[in-house]
Structure 1
Amino acid sequence: MPSQTPNVTYISIVTYCQATCRTSIIILLSLLTTTHGFGQILNVEKERMKGDSANYFLGTVGLSFNANNQSLTNDGTEKSFVGLTANSDAAYFSTYHSFLLIGQLQYTATSETAINSAGYGHFRINWLRKNIISYENFVQIQYDQGRGMQSRRLAGGGVRFRIYREEKSSLFAGTGVMYEREEWEQPSGEGGSVALGLWKNSSYLTSRLQLRENIAFGSIAYFQTGYDPDQDFFRHRVSGDINILINVTSKLALQTAVGLAYENRPVVPIPKFVYRVTNGIQLNF
């Protein structure tokens, strides 16, 4: 689940949090979660593996070029295009818990259409993060002009399982319940909009592998499903991110990410499968 000035925002958060209590951290981050993927899987999972570390911050700022097929033509068919993606993320690790804020903005255009934008903000708390079985709460808000998504808002919680964790690799799984509400525009020519709210199960599997000292691989896969009583069927969503991070220095890295998503029954008639490929740089602080 940030604005176009993420650096100032996160620096302000760090300064404020150092002088206040952990309750204030939660309130501030929740208020900032207004602008969704998980582009910083590698860094977050790496830091979660530091079982003896506590009371520290992690932050990243990234800029990437991308190619995907999330745009639509007038008749609702898919069209590929390229664009620019900017992300800024922050995490705080206390003695027992972790707090993660992820935000991203995308600007895309083709020779046939005006600039489209998409963005998300995701805030997640991992309670008792060092335990084999821990707990999570999360909220998210998202929009995507290219696909006609006016908004997607969700909130939920669940259980996180530590399946495997070593110095250079880890594997975690999680499952829980969330409530999701979406508002979509109909494809051009049909007019109107559609709103849908559903309770869903949300499950994921995430892994990290340090291939070499300066090269890391990370992935996360989600399966989300919910029963739509108005249509008398289940709506499934499968999505995932794959990331490769090459550290040039301790502060600068090259990143390549691939994002995939499939919905068996979209709310409006749009392509069921979308992808995203990005290549760019990342600054760590």
Structure 2
Amino acid sequence: MRFLLITILFSATTVFGQIVNIENKRLDGDKQGFHGSVDLNLNFTMNTKQLLQLGDKLRLGYTKLKHHAFILTDHAFVKSDDDSFINRGYEHVRYNYTLKDSGRIIYEVFQQGQFNKIQKINLRLLFGTGFRFKLIDQKNYNLSFGTGFMGEYEELIDFGNSRDILSTSYLSFDGQFSENIGMNTISYFQPKMVDFGNYRFANETYLRFKINKYLSFKVVYSLVHDSRDIPEVRKTNYVFKNTLSFNF
């Protein structure tokens, strides 16, 4: 009960984006064996309507020498005072294999399932592969670049389904400025292989503040742009939220 009370928080949240930021959810690949974290949140908003949001997140990883695998889940459920109900969620599984002893070149394979009623995504399934390059790998500062491709199956509510091959690239920076303060920022670019003018772009930046060995507080800002014209769906969306995290 004490743990549940500690992890309850209140935040200001707008709409949710379509690209899932995996980079800042990666677990420490140098820590051997199992490791992970759990987040729980409760948000209440009062303006023209009452909104109640419940959410949960799970990160679980396993590392053995050059092999690293992890699974991520994230769900959010929103209910308004007129009984309307909105939900979103995803699961992501990724396997990494370090090709060089320096640890700077990593081969990746991933699978993801996602739904987002706000963005009219009834179902999105991804399966992809690529390489990750550590451009800067220091104790407190890391800069990485990743590139690859993925197959996508997508069902949009009221707009049918599609199958595509996309290029996917990202640039990520993580810095630990002091013992208790750090920052992570990442940008994704995902165009269709046959039509580079049809693309998704996302950036997520967050500040983290360490409270003690097990608790940390995060302030997150996310921006997502989808170039497609989908009726009743904004091309550019953003999120601002606060999270209290328990690590083990």
Please state if 1:201 is matched with 2:167. Answer: yes
Q: Distance between the aligned counterparts of 2:55 and 2:214, measured in 1?
A: 19
Query: What is the percent sequence identity of the aligned residues?
Result: 25
Structure number having the greater strand percentage: 2
Q: 1:60 to 1:195 in 2, by over 3 A?
A: same
- Report if aligned partners of 1:86, 1:104 keep a CA contact under 8 Å in 2: yes
Please state if 1:264 is matched with 2:227. Answer: yes
In the TM superposition, what whole-angstrom CA distance separates every residue of 1:238-263 from its partner, at most 9, and x where no partner exists? 01222222111111111222222100
Q: 1:239 to 1:65 in 2, by over 3 A?
A: farther
* Counterpart pick for 1:37 among 20, 26, 29: 20
Structure 2 equivalent of residue 172 of structure 1? 144
- Report if aligned partners of 1:168, 1:210 keep a CA contact under 8 Å in 2: yes
Task: Please state how far the C-alpha of 1:85 moved relative to its aligned partner.
Answer: 3.0
Structure number having the greater helix percentage: 1
Structure 1 equivalent of residue 11 of structure 2? none
Equivalent residues in 2 for 1:95-106, closer than 5 Å: 95-106=65-76
Which moved further from structure 2: 238-247 or 82-91?
A: 82-91
Q: Distance between the aligned counterparts of 1:148 and 1:237, measured in 2?
A: 16
Could you say what secondary structure the match of 1:41 adopts?
helix
Please state if 1:249 is matched with 2:216. Answer: no
Structure 1 equivalent of residue 48 of structure 2? none
Structure 1 equivalent of residue 57 of structure 2? 87
- Report if aligned partners of 1:37, 1:241 keep a CA contact under 8 Å in 2: no
Task: Please state how far the C-alpha of 1:43 moved relative to its aligned partner.
Answer: 6.1
Q: Aligned AA for 2:243?
A: G
Structure 2 equivalent of residue 5 of structure 1? none
Q: Distance between the aligned counterparts of 2:205 and 2:125, measured in 1?
A: 24
- Report if aligned partners of 1:85, 1:106 keep a CA contact under 8 Å in 2: yes
- Report if aligned partners of 2:25, 2:59 keep a CA contact under 8 Å in 1: no
* Counterpart pick for 1:281 among 231, 244, 247: 244
Could you say what secondary structure the match of 2:118 adopts?
coil
Moved over 4 A (4+): 266-269
* Counterpart pick for 2:96 among 126, 135, 140: 126
Structure 1 equivalent of residue 47 of structure 2? none
Give the superposed CA RMSD: 2.6
Q: Distance between the aligned counterparts of 1:268 and 1:139, measured in 2?
A: 28
Q: Which runs of 5+ in 2 are unaligned?
A: 1-18, 45-50
Structure 1 equivalent of residue 190 of structure 2? 224
Q: 1:199 to 1:170 in 2, by over 3 A?
A: same
Q: Distance between the aligned counterparts of 1:280 and 1:194, measured in 2?
A: 35
Q: Distance between the aligned counterparts of 2:89 and 2:208, measured in 1?
A: 22
Task: Please state how far the C-alpha of 1:90 moved relative to its aligned partner.
Answer: 0.9
Structure 1 equivalent of residue 14 of structure 2? none
Q: 1:269 to 1:114 in 2, by over 3 A?
A: closer
Equivalent residues in 2 for 1:46-57, closer than 5 Å: 47-48=28-29, 50=30, 55-57=32-34
Q: Distance between the aligned counterparts of 1:82 and 1:204, measured in 2?
A: 33
Q: Aligned AA for 2:188?
A: Y
Could you say what secondary structure the match of 2:55 adopts?
strand
Task: Please state how far the C-alpha of 1:38 moved relative to its aligned partner.
Answer: 3.5
Please state if 1:116 is matched with 2:86. Answer: yes
Could you say what secondary structure the match of 2:177 adopts?
strand
Equivalent residues in 2 for 1:128-167, closer than 5 Å: 128=98, 131-167=103-139
Which moved further from structure 2: 128-137 or 91-100?
A: 128-137
Structure 1 equivalent of residue 36 of structure 2? 59
Q: Distance between the aligned counterparts of 1:39 and 1:255, measured in 2?
A: 16
Q: Distance between the aligned counterparts of 1:39 and 1:107, measured in 2?
A: 20
> TM-score, normalising length from structure 2?
0.81
Aligned positions, number = 224
